[in-house]
Structure 1
Amino acid sequence: MEKLQYALRESWSLKSSSKWSINNPANGQCGVTSLVVNDLLGGEIYKTHLPQGWHFYNVIQGKRYDFTVSQFPIKIVYEDRRTTREEALKDTNKSQYSYLKKRVYERLNIKDINK
């Protein structure tokens, strides 16, 4: 998971979220990140409502993984509401998703068999 976190952090940019900034690279990356993690590791996508809107993350084999939690200055109280890929995609767009997936797969040296 540490390698995946590093690959995500190194791949996030303005091309994966318009909210990205050098001071807060995880900002706005939750939907797109949850989709890429779901592609790689399976599991389920969950969401929690925050003042900023819905926050997406992954649950894999019963364990919560929130790779974008660093974007928030407060501790999150997770509601753990199961959601769908389609809803997470509404938090991003296909271009941002394709970009992040390609970058993360390159950093992890994984060939995408779904191309």
Structure 2
Amino acid sequence: MTDADKLARALEASWSLKSSTLWSEDVPAAGQCGVTALVANDVLGADILKTRYGLIWHFYNRIEGRRHDFTASQFERPVAYDDLPATREEAFADTNAAQYDYLRSTVLEALKVR
């Protein structure tokens, strides 16, 4: 199992209403893209990328040259990726400090026990 796979499992186990107000049991990745991209950047040094999805920016990562969109499951139709470089500030505009702190600490704890 790769580090990205381990991170994906930790993220999926950690997403909740505390990491996004759009979270639901049916679509746990909903609203998690910015905060997830930030945590992936923290944990694996992943590049943060963005693309337009309708009227919004969607954030995801590049890890060791490969695109990883940990939150793609939130969308009903496929994402047409532009792979535009994004900053932490841009991704943070999609979340808030409480959501980020929660997801980061929860994911780091989950990764310790795996």
Using the size of structure 2 for normalisation, the TM-score is 0.92
Q: Which residue of 2 aligns with 1:45?
A: 48
Distance 1:67 1:52 in 2: 20
- Aligned identity (percent) is 55
For residues 39-97 of structure 1, the C-alpha deviation after alignment (integer angstroms, 9 at most, x for no partner) is 01113100010115110000122211100001111111101110100110000001100
Q: Which residue of 2 aligns with 1:10?
A: 13
Distance 1:75 1:99 in 2: 29
Aligned residues: 110
Q: Which residue of 2 aligns with 1:113?
A: none
Matched, 1:100 2:103: yes
Unaligned runs of 5+ in 1: 111-115
TM-aligned CA deviation for residue 2 of structure 1: 2.1
Q: Which residue of 1 aligns with 2:31?
A: 28
Using the size of structure 1 for normalisation, the TM-score is 0.91
1:55 to 53, 58, 64: 58
Distance 1:13 1:88 in 2: 18
Unaligned runs of 5+ in 2: none
Structure 1 runs of 4+ off > 2 angstroms? none
Distance 1:43 1:93 in 2: 20
Matched, 1:89 2:92: yes
Q: Secondary structure at the match of 1:108?
A: helix
